[in-house]
């Protein structure tokens, strides 16, 4: 089952048994080294793939965390508004404010109009409606979401 050329060279007397064994050993070592090199090449590729996959997973987790944070902030804003909104007076005075180049109005008590213009109260958006909240709550809402604040005449320090 050996190499036919080796056998022919051995029979012809061109090489001796020692040289044949040395050639076999050299070939064996060469094959083993090539196999090790390909295995290390494959392991390098696998490591690169794992690194890119880990990076993608980190990025996906970061995006999920960001979405979760935004959802929590919206829930906090909604809770702040619902807990601190002030009663509106349907028969009260109309307070006009601008929203996206449209003039909107909300009916509030006469005292609330002065407080709205002084910056003691603010108008915020809750769903499709508008609510009036104290300035302290408006600042807390502004920390979480500026989009919810509609009209807030905050005093400049």
Higher pLDDT, 55 or 22: 55
- The proportion of the chain whose per-residue pLDDT surpasses 90, expressed as a percent, equals 29
pLDDT the model gives residue 58 = 96
Mean pLDDT of 109-124: 88
Q: Tell me the per-residue pLDDT of 131-144, one tens digit each, with 9 for 90 and over.
A: 999 999 999 998 88
Question: Mean of the per-residue pLDDT values for the chain?
Answer: 85
Higher pLDDT, 68 or 93: 68
3-state per-residue secondary structure call for the chain: CCCHHHHHHHHHCCCCHHHHHHHHHHHHHHHHHHHHHHHHHHHHHHHHHHHHHHHHHHHHHHHHHHHHHHHHHHHHHHHHHHHHCCCCCCCCEEEEEEECCEEEEEEECHHHHHHHHHCCEEEEEECCEEEEEEHHHHHHHHHHCHHHEEECCCCCC
pTM score over 0.85: no
């Amino acid at each position: 089952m050996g190499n036919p050329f080796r056998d022919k060279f051995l029979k012809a007397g061109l090489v001796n048994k020692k040289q044949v064994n040395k050639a076999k050993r050299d070939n064996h070592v060469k094959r083993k080294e090539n196999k090790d090199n390909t295995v290390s090449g494959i392991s390098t590729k696998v490591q690169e793939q794992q690194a890119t996959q880990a990076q993608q997973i980190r990025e996906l987790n970061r995006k999920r965390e960001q979405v979760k944070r935004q959802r929590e902030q919206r829930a906090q804003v909604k809770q702040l508004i619902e807990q601190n909104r002030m009663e509106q007076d349907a028969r009260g005075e109309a307070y006009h404010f601008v929203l996206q180049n449209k003039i909107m109005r909300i009916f509030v008590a006469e005292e609330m109009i002065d407080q709205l213009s002084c910056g003691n109260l603010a108008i915020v958006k809750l769903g499709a409606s508008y609510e009036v909240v104290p300035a302290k709550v408006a600042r807390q809402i502004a920390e979480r979401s500026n989009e919810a604040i509609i009209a807030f005449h905050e005093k400049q320090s």
